[in-house]
Amino acid sequence: MTSWNPEQYERFKSERRQPFDDLLALVDPRPHMRVVDLGCGTGELTRDLHAHLNAEETIGIDNSETMLMKSGAFGNAVLRFERGDIEAFVADRPFDLIFSNAALHWVNDHATLFRRLTSFLAPNGQLAIQMPANETHASHWVAAEVAKEFGITPRTSPILAPEDYASLLNELGFKRQHVRLQIYGHVLPSSSDVVEWVKGTLLTDYERQLDAPSFERFVTEYRAQLLRDIGNDSPYFYTYRRVLMWGRF
């Protein structure tokens, strides 16, 4: 069993930040907001979320102890961090905003999940979610093919089509909503840097299923097959699909 590696994840820190900023721009700031950030990671972006909204209280939730070790530098009396699973998250009182940036794609059954999260919102509450949806890119489907060769379970994404999220938000009573699929283009130093990108995210799912020597062989084979598909270019333009959504009662 492995844990998230903050240093590996943050190798592309600036590229990973832009979707957060775009999601935050959708939120309607209100006075005295009570906010929860599900999948807060190291807490740095949660700090920025809290400051931007001038929130009364913000709670960051993450299940990675290694990620949360860095959050101590950002916490205070009205911004705190807790270890916990999103699937088990419950609210003692309603939130004005449930925010999640690049985390809910690790949780299955989104219809049930969104219904449960919506039940934790205040009457004028907001839901703001961003999730990677890049399974059609070779960076993702090649990993699934290599997983089959290694006899382990390929990762299956729970992400729905954007129009299904729009229908779901309507069904859940959000009177206003914004749902979009956005392509982020990242100019990486080389094609090989795509491997370093997914080692911080997608490949952690395969690392959990393998011992250390087997995972090293997995990455070697993945790199070889990926570069055969996308070429060995310097620089390399990496296209990345993400779903952004916002709803308000």
Q: Which residues contact 21 (CB under 8 A, 6 or more apart)?
A: none
Predicted TM-score (pTM) of the model is 0.93
pLDDT tens track for 151-178:
999 999 999 999 999 999 999 999 999 9
pLDDT at site 3:
54
> Dmax over Cα atoms in the chain, in whole Å?
54
User: 5 pLDDT band (50/70/90 cuts)?
Assistant: low
pLDDT tens track for 123-145:
999 999 999 999 999 999 999 99
What domains lie within the chain, and their CATH numbers? 6-248 (3.40.50.150)
User: 111 pLDDT band (50/70/90 cuts)?
Assistant: very high
Q: What are phi and psi of 115, to 5 degrees?
A: -65, -40
Give the burial class of 123: count Cβ atoms within 10 A of its Cβ; 0-12 exposed, 13-18 middle, 19 or more buried: exposed
pLDDT tens track for 44-54:
999 999 999 99
Q: Strand 176-188 relative to strand 236-248: parallel, antiparallel, unpaired?
A: antiparallel
Asked if the model's pLDDT at residue 146 lies above 90, the reply is yes
pLDDT at site 177:
98
